[in-house]
Amino acid sequence: MKKIICMSLIVLMAIFSAVPAYAAIDGKSVSTQGSGTVSPLFTYILQLNVGLEIDSSGKAACLGKATLYSGTNRVDLTVQLQKFTGSSWSAIKTWTSSGVGMSGTTILQNYYVVSGTYRVSATAKVYNSSGNLLETATAYSPTATY
């Protein structure tokens, strides 16, 4: 009986003592979220979204959006539509926008493409009110083929 109680306690302790996992990418902490994705935890950038959709006529809808934690910082957002050529990605169209405050800035632009494989990159650079660079982050959309 004593042996059964000890084994039961060991099993219960093992079940209820789960340890969270932590990692680092390029010096930034990462954590797992409920969706199963791993996202960097930034100091000034709340969210960096990027997207690409190509319709049947070849119109590529390119999205980049950056939002900030602070209402006083400025974000410069650069969105690039990139095409895979040979063994590397090359930019075929670039858009820029700036925003101040927590709402940040959004770029949503269309561009007609020819056949090929494409992605969108979004790079956000955050500056304080003195113009000092605080943080830089880049995100990529999944690829789309037309």
**pLDDT at site 31:** 41
74 and 28 in one domain?
Answer: no
Full-model pTM: 0.72
Q: Which of 54, 39, 45 is nearest to 77 (CA)?
A: 45
Q: Are 5 and 63 part of one and the same domain?
A: no
Kindly report, residue by residue over 32-77, the tens digit of the pLDDT.
344 444 456 789 999 999 999 999 999 999 999 999 998 899 999 9
For the chain, what percent of residues have pLDDT higher than 70?
76
- The answer to whether residue 131 scores a pLDDT higher than 90 is yes
Same domain, residue pair 128 and 85: yes
User: How many domains in the chain?
Assistant: 2
Mean pLDDT value across residues 113-132: 96
- Is the same domain home to 121 and 50? yes
Structural domain including 22 reads 1-41
Residues 78 and 27 in one domain: no
